[in-house]
Structure 1
């Protein structure tokens, strides 16, 4: 695991957590905007870091390493953390474990899916062969490529954004093993997030993509006691992928307004 720091270290610290099978470079397109307000630390998970020979073990194992870094470098407390999709699970777990403190946790339209071990194994066994081939070689399955070819401008922009997060635009990531993908997908499903998370001094913000469906909003109210739901009439992580300036502004507003401060 590596932590990529950038910006002015005198500014508040925000940690950035990539999604499932995504690289730390997922955040490259928003870093310049964030640097106006934050010192950024992008997390590169074990098994998905190009400069290390590691494998992703479990969500708990990664959490321990993240907590150790925050305690060592930032005194155990940071201003904010944004979790893109799977990253939202990491933000939730880090807050509920209470081993470090995050003033503002931002959940990026995460699905918060969970399953028992049996169903998690079945789901992982189905998805992993497809994801492994796509992520490691950078080549899409024919059925997927056909759908992309038929997509209109706005939909294709969103798809391209997702492919960029997987590193497919760079020709794939051959260092990522099938075991890392399996462990990440399976571990995310079986690692339970508590219901009604409520930590003094921490505000949970959710960038809720309403086109995902109402059941996800219900989940957010289940997992978090008093979440700040920020609705966007978009698909999953569309704001992040396709509207970087608007996304940066939403992050800024969430934190500054959450502390009762002026946006001026």
Structure 2
């Protein structure tokens, strides 16, 4: 695991955690510069998902420990904020539940927090991997019907769909061929089977959630199931649309959460 750091170390630090199978530069590259106005920006690149390392993704809990160790070593165990995009929100939940570090603000970006047993997860992997991995590695699906569907999305889809497709590539448009199938499957499966406690209430700090209303009402119930006092910021958008397509509003929302008003 690597962490890329940007800006003034004297400013409060925010740690950015990518989503499922996302390359850190594609996931957060467009918001790093504007965030530097008020934050020291630190972006995690998970084991198995960094183009400068020869590693494999281990498990959610092992990677959580590495994130904790980074915060302890580089920030004295106390950081202003941790933002988790999608799957990254699961890490935020685990950090809050374990309380091995202190984060003033843990922010989940529209995370689904899906969980399942071992059998169902194994079945989902068998279905998802043949579809997902070739696209990540080669930039195209093996199945002709999926290729046609993707072509139609890229030609007629909104900026939202195109932006999410591009998160599965480098900013230069290259495929993520450095990511192994083992890392993708481990990340996908480990996120599903790693339990997240209910009614998490950190002794220090707050939990905030960017709630995309178009994901559905069931996620509101899920957020209140896992967190005792979450602060929901509601947007009539799709999953992580605020981050992907509205960077100025996303940065402003993060600043309003993390910078106390005088």
**The TM-score by the shorter chain falls in which range?**
over 0.9
CA contact (8 A) 1:78 1:102 kept: yes
* Structure 2 SS opposite 1:37: coil
Is the 8 Å Cα contact of residues 86 and 188 (structure 1) preserved in structure 2? yes
Structure 1: distance between partners of 2:198 and 2:182: 30
Query: Who is 1:105 aligned against?
Result: 106
Aligned pairs, number: 259
Q: RMSD in angstroms over aligned alpha carbons?
A: 1.7
Q: Which residue of 2 aligns with 1:167?
A: 169
The answer to whether the Cα contact below 8 Å between 2:109 and 2:210 also exists between their aligned partners in 1 is yes
Distance, in Å, in 2 between the alignment partners of 1:67 and 1:139 is 36
How far has the Cα of 1:147 moved from its partner?
A: 3.7
**Cα–Cα, structure 1 residues 133 and 71, in superposed 2: closer, same or farther, change >3 Å?**
same
- The alignment status of 1:80 with 2:115, answered yes or no, reads no
TM-superposed deviation, 1:128: 1.4
Aligned to 1:157, which of 156, 159, 164? 159
Secondary structure of 2:250's counterpart equals helix
Q: Is the 8 A contact 1:167 1:173 kept in 2?
A: yes
SS of residue matched to 2:4: strand
Superimposed CA distance per residue, residues 100-147 of structure 1 (whole angstroms, 9 cap, x where no aligned partner): 111100000000000011111111121112111010112245434544
The equivalent of 2:49 in structure 1 is 48
Match of 1:206 among 193, 205, 209: 209
**TM-score normalised according to structure 2 size:** 0.94
Quote how far apart the aligned CAs of 1:149 are. 4.6
Change (3 A) 1:177 1:151: closer
Name the CA distance, whole Å, in 2 between partners of 1:153 and 1:242: 18
Per-residue Cα deviation, 1:20-55 (whole angstroms, up to 9, x for no partner): 000111100011111111101100001101001100
Deviates more, 1:100-109 or 1:160-169: 160-169
Tell me the distance in 1 between the aligned counterparts of 2:221 and 2:187: 25
SS at match of 2:82: strand
Shift of 1:150: 4.2
Q: What residue ranges of structure 2 are gaps of 5+ in the alignment?
A: none
* Uncovered stretches (5+) of structure 1, i.e. residues with no partner: none
Which residue in the other structure is 1:129 paired with?
Answer: 130
